[in-house]
Structure 1
Amino acid sequence: MVDITDIEAAAERIAGHVLRTPTLASPGLSALLGVPVTVKLELLQLGGSFKVRGAAAKLLTLTDAERAAGVVAVSGGNHAIGVAVMAGALGVAATVIMPRTAPVQAASAARAAGADVRLTEDMAGAFALMDQLQQTGMTLLHPFADPVVLAGQGTVGLELSDDAGELTDVLVSIGGGALISGVAVALHARRPDIRVWGVETVGAQAMTDALAAGGPVPTSLSSLVSTLSAPTVSQLTYDHVSTVVTEVLLVTDAEAVQGTLDLADHAKVWAEPAAGCLLPAARQVLARVGSDAKLGFVVCGGNATTADVFRWSR
């Protein structure tokens, strides 16, 4: 298990390489939900999501030989961008593998940052190619099975704890689970009474399936939210979520897309459905904990185009 000292060390390591993103009260979301809402605007991070934190944390620990070998990563979108941006900034060659269903914008952004982008037919194929390239000697930068990456993502939780007012419940979306794992560890160390809730979409529910099975299992992917579509979680993230997360909630794709539009209308930010899913999940949380809640949202990324979201909303 990663602990608060690991996350604090990651925060020191990546300082100056990533942004400290804003943590703000959201009057619009507070009015919409009827309780105080604070947003951590990680969609304003370099690369448009939190992923550069874990990438920086890992890249800055590599040996000269590991750097020279180049890094390989697999992604449904945002990890590819984060690895490409940070590897480019640190002078490390990066290959990122993405399924063809990943947002075109994400592949373009990764290429623009200097990465070699490889496309596969599906996410399972992307992970298989990642394994093959690792076996040729490339350095693996796994999105959710590496404790160094997890600690880097946990720096989001450190900043939220330092910068937010009173919170009772924090909602974090789950792909492979590194973000929520790190955030939950950081928050519980600093604010032990906070409840942390995970959110997945139906058809991208690897953590829900793992919790039901008692450990990581393959999941069937059908959600349009590619940035949450991990084919399985890792033992590392399962161990963290099963220990420090209150519950993992499921919402539909339609609810996640509507949540994106609601964030635009009420919070005045353009997020992706991986963050939009927090709004319908918040209504589930409020039904359980009551109207005295003070909510925090980790708005994890904004790498979806208006054309994408409007097409999905039809």
Structure 2
Amino acid sequence: MIGISEIEATAERIAGHVVRTPTLPSPGLSALLGAPVTVKLELLQRTGSFKARGATAKLLSLSEEERAAGVVAVSGGNHGIAMAVMAAALDVKATVVMPRSAPARAVEIARESGASLRLTDDMAGAFALMTRLQEEGLTLVHPFDDPVVIAGQGTVGLEFAADAGELTDVLVSIGGGGLISGVAAALRERRPDVRIWGVETEGAEAMSRALAAGGPVPVALSSLVSTLSAPSVSRLTYEHVSTLVDDVLVVPDREAVRGTLDLADHAKVWAEPAAGCLLPAARRVLERVGEGARIGLVVCGGNATTGDVMSWAARFGLR
């Protein structure tokens, strides 16, 4: 399990490379949900998502031999962007593997940053190619199955705990579980009374399936939210979530896209559905916990184009 001392040390290490993102009350979301809402705006992070934190932490931890070999990363979008941009900034050669379903903007940014880009038919194929490239000698920077990466993501929770006012419930999106593992580790130390809720989308339910099965299991992926689409969680993230998180909620893709539109309308931020899914989940949390709740949302990323969101909204008949 990742400890608070590891997260604090990582925060010092990456401080000159990443942004301390704003933590703000959101009057618009508070009115929409009928309870006080505070947002941690990781979509304003360097590379457009929290992923820059873990990627930077791992890159800075590499030996000279590991750096010289070059790094490989697999991603549904945001980890790939973070690896490409941060590796270029730190003068490390990167190979990024993504499924063809990854957002076009993510592919474009990774390519423009100078990474060697490899596309596969699906996410399972992307993970398989990542493993093969690692076996051929590249240094793996896993998107979530790495304690250094999790400690990097945990700096989100460290900042949220320090900067937010009173909170009763914090919601965090889950793909492979690296973000919520780190955030939960920090919050359990700094805000032990806060309830922590994970959120997945239907068709990208790797963590909730793992919790039901008693450990990581492979899942079939069908969600349009590629940035949450891990073919399974890891034993490391499963152990963190099963120990530290109160529950994991699953919402339909349609509601995640509606949440993206609501974030634009009411919070005035342009997020991706991986963050939009937090709003329908927050409504369910409020139904469960009753009056007096004060909600915290980790708005994890904003790497979706206007065209992406309008296309998804049209698919679901949303206006």
Paired residues of 1:34 and 1:291 also in contact (CA < 8 A): no
Whether 2:215 is the aligned partner of 1:215: answer: yes
- Report the AA paired with residue 277 of structure 1: C
Alignment of 1:122-161 (within 5 A): 122-161=122-161
In structure 2, C-alpha distance between the alignment counterparts of 1:113 and 1:196, rounded to whole Å:
35
User: 1:313 deviation in Å?
Assistant: 1.2
SS at match of 2:221: coil
Q: Give, as a single letter, the amino acid of the residue that structure 1 aligns with 2:127.
A: F
Structure 1 residue 118, shift from structure 2 partner: 0.6
1:59 maps onto 2:54 in alignment: no
For 2:79 and 2:42, locate their aligned partners in 1 and report how far apart those are by CA, in whole Å. Answer: 14
Is 1:108 the counterpart of 2:108 in the alignment?
A: yes
Opposite residue 197 of structure 2, the aligned amino acid is W
Deviation for aligned residue 1:85: 1.1
Structure 1 stretches of 4+ moved >3 Å: none
Q: Which residue of 2 aligns with 1:172?
A: 172
| In 2, Cα distance between equivalents of 1:227 and 1:79 | 9
Q: Which residue of 2 aligns with 1:16?
A: 16
Matches within 5 A, 1:68-83: 68-83=68-83
Q: 8 Å contact 1:77–1:106 — kept in the other structure?
A: yes
- State the TM-score, normalizing by the size of structure 1: 0.99
Report the Cα distance in structure 2 between the residues aligned to 1:126 and 1:291, rounded to whole angstroms: 44
Is the partner of 1:241 in helix, strand or coil? helix
% identical aligned pairs: 75
Mapped partners of 1:119, 1:154: distance in 2: 29
What letter is aligned with 1:162? A
User: Per-residue deviation at 1:266?
Assistant: 0.1
Aligned partners of 1:153 and 1:182 also within 8 Å = yes
Q: Secondary structure at the match of 1:102?
A: coil
Distance in 1 of aligned mates of 2:282 and 2:47: 26
Alpha-carbon offset, residue 102 of structure 1: 0.4
Show the counterpart of 2:42. Answer: 42
Shift of residue 37, structure 1, vs aligned partner: 0.2
The AA in structure 2 aligned to 1:258 is: R
Report what 2:304 is aligned to. Answer: 304
In 1, the alpha carbon distance for the partners of 2:84 and 2:10 equals 19
Cα deviation code 1:22-68 (max 9, x no counterpart): 00000000000011000000000010000010001001010000000
Deviations 1:204-262, CA, capped at 9 Å, x for gaps: 00001100100000001000000000000000000000000000000000000000000
- Code of the aligned partner of 2:217: V
Where does residue 268 of structure 1 map in the other structure? 268
Deviations 1:115-147 (A, max 9, x none): 111100000000000001001110000001000
* Amino acid of the structure 2 residue aligned with 1:106: A
- What amino acid is aligned across from residue 156 of structure 2 in structure 1? V
Give the Cα separation in 2 of the matches to 1:62 and 1:278.
34
Show CA shifts across 1:146-177 (max 9, x none): 00000000000000001000000000000000
Cα shift at 1:291: 2.3
Instruction: Return the alpha-carbon distance in structure 1 between the equivalents of residues 76 and 118 of structure 2.
Output: 12
- The gaps in structure 1 that reach 5 residues or longer are none
Name the CA distance, whole Å, in 2 between partners of 1:83 and 1:291. Answer: 42
Write the letter of the residue equivalent to 1:234: S
- Aligned partner of residue 313 in structure 1, secondary structure: helix
Residue 73 of structure 2: SS of its match in structure 1?
Answer: strand
SS in 2 for 1:60: helix
- Corresponding position of 2:317: none
**Which residue identity lines up with residue 304 of structure 2 in the other structure?**
A
Alignment partners' CA distance in 2, 1:98 and 1:213: 28
Aligned to 1:239: 239
Give the Cα–Cα distance (whole angstroms) in 1 for the partners of residues 187 and 117 of structure 2.
35
Q: Secondary structure at the match of 1:95?
A: strand
Indicate the RMSD between aligned Cα atoms, in angstroms. 0.5
CA–CA distance in structure 2, aligned partners of residues 151 and 173 of structure 1: 17
Secondary structure of 1:298's aligned partner: strand
Paired residues in the alignment total 314
Deviation (angstroms), 1:263: 0.2
Q: Quick check: 1:206–1:218 contact (8 Å CA) kept in 2?
A: yes
* Amino acid in structure 2 at the alignment position of 1:145: D
Q: Residue 25 of structure 1 aligns with which residue?
A: 25
Q: Which residue of 1 aligns with 2:90?
A: 90
